[in-house]
Structure 1
Amino acid sequence: MRVAFLTFFVVLIAAATSFAAPPRETPEEREVAATFDAARTALSEKRGSAVIPLLTRNSVKALESVRDAARQPGDAPLQRLEPAERFAAMGLRRYLGPAELRRMSVGDIANHALKAGWLGPNVISRSALGPVRVKGDRASGLLMVDNRPALVPADFVREGGAWRIDLASVFTFGSQMLKGFAAMAGKDETAYIGELLDRLPAKPGAMKAQ
């Protein structure tokens, strides 16, 4: 489950080493692929902060909401988040101390996550962007993992004339999964998330997940 902490950064924008990208037929498709490739390069070089400018404004706001909720003590800030964001915020509390959370930007957290190995390089190398479909100012690419389609597509939005990675579908899919699993277990979503996190080792001195 550690990969979930970086799902909103990495799963959609992981690097491809064994997958041959299909030909890009239009200039827009090539521009979308270029955004993906720029993020791929940054991730492979462990420069997580360089990915943040490649995200949509709403995606950045969502990540900032996760960080801000993790910074605040108690359960109330977490309850305002959807389950996927709540999972990420509770995970940040587990792996980063209060002082670290107060001083770190979203880019700082991305840098730390990559350098700390929250997502191994093997995960990055197994993923790639498949065929891309553009419709107006939105685009969607088939995300491939081990040459197989992933459950969540790679979505993009054109903002200010440039294509940006949109993480909305990642959050939505993650929240639906957590809601479903919690319901099947007959447990409150926050309690269920806490149990998932309890299976991971906590960083010494870090705030325990609520």
Structure 2
Amino acid sequence: MDSARIPAFLLRLLWLPVVALPVWYSSTTPVAFADTPAEAADEALVRNTFREYKSAILQARGETAVRQVSSHTIDYYQQMKDLALKGTPAHVHGLKLMDRLMVLSLRHRMTLQQLQDLSAPELFSFAVDQGWIGKESVERLEIGAISINGDAAKGEYIFDGKAAPLHFSFYREQGEWRFDLLPVLNTGNAALEEALKREGTDENEFILSAMESVTGKKPAPTIWDPLLPQ
């Protein structure tokens, strides 16, 4: 498939901390404004976390960005790192689309030594420092109305000034609000699968084409093999 026919935001899903997802993907979860002073205070903190994260992505400040994300997000990067190092071809082929894309992207962009030397938080920070995040998409994102439910929060997804039927997720961890990117990742997976299905495109064909388009380097035939010798 010609990668030019796939929207740019899908090509940027190679790292996906925040991307511009299509407005045709729906969510039924409502978002409401804060009702109490405590919720209003939390809302301001959540909004600040989003603002700090967005600024860090746009300025390629990895250490700042990683401080804004949830432990679930970092755990996910650890899982993807482990799979890039040790995942067999059969295992990787069996992953859902976005996980497959993440694992192969790590193998494509990094050497064995680079990946081994980085912890999961350092890997996330490194990706931001290298500008592997789609800045063009992030720049057009804003957060709208925010709802607070104990130690969880959801924020309205605003793209190009228009509300989309999606939401951002946040969790309070050790007294600080953190951006949880896994719901965005899951939504991206569904959006990408639907787009490829409509195009009649093989998922693995798209992954390899997208990696070459984004990096300018053709994936090696060994891309499906683990980086660590078995």
| Interval of TM-score (by shorter of Structure 1 and Structure 2) | 0.7 to 0.9
Q: Deviation of residue 30 (structure 1)? A: 0.9
Partner of 1:142: 156
Partner of 1:163: 177
Q: Deviation of residue 189 (structure 1)? A: 4.4
State the distance in 2 between where 1:35 and 1:148 align.
21
Q: Map 1:87-126 onto structure 2 (within 5 A).
A: 87-119=101-133, 121-126=135-140
Q: What is the aligned counterpart of 1:128 among 142, 147, 150?
A: 142
Q: Deviation of residue 197 (structure 1)? A: 3.2
Alignment length (residue pairs): 199
TM-score (norm 1): 0.75
1:5 aligns with 2:14: yes
Structure 2 vs 1, CA of residues 203 and 100 (structure 1 numbering), >3 Å: closer, same or farther?
Answer: farther
Q: Map 1:14-53 onto structure 2 (within 5 A).
A: 26-53=40-67
Q: What SS class does the counterpart of residue 67 from structure 2 fall into? A: helix
User: Contact 2:54 / 2:139 at 8 angstroms: preserved in 1?
Assistant: no
Partner of 1:20: none
Identical residues among aligned pairs (%): 24
TM-score (norm 2): 0.69
Q: Deviation of residue 6 (structure 1)? A: 2.7
User: Contact 1:128 / 1:145 at 8 angstroms: preserved in 2?
Assistant: yes
Range with greater deviation from structure 2 (40-49 or 192-201): 192-201
Range with greater deviation from structure 2 (195-204 or 24-33): 195-204
State the distance in 2 between where 1:172 and 1:205 align.
25
Residues 80-119 of structure 1: per-residue CA shift (max 9 Å, x gap)? 6432122111122222222222222334333443343333
Structure 1 gaps of 5+ residues are 13-22
Structure 2 gaps of 5+ residues are 1-9, 21-32, 225-230
User: Contact 2:75 / 2:120 at 8 angstroms: preserved in 1?
Assistant: no
State the distance in 2 between where 1:39 and 1:197 align.
25
Aligned residues: CA RMSD: 3.2
Question: Which structure would you say has the larger Rg?
Answer: 2
State the distance in 2 between where 1:100 and 1:162 align.
31
State the distance in 2 between where 1:150 and 1:48 align.
27
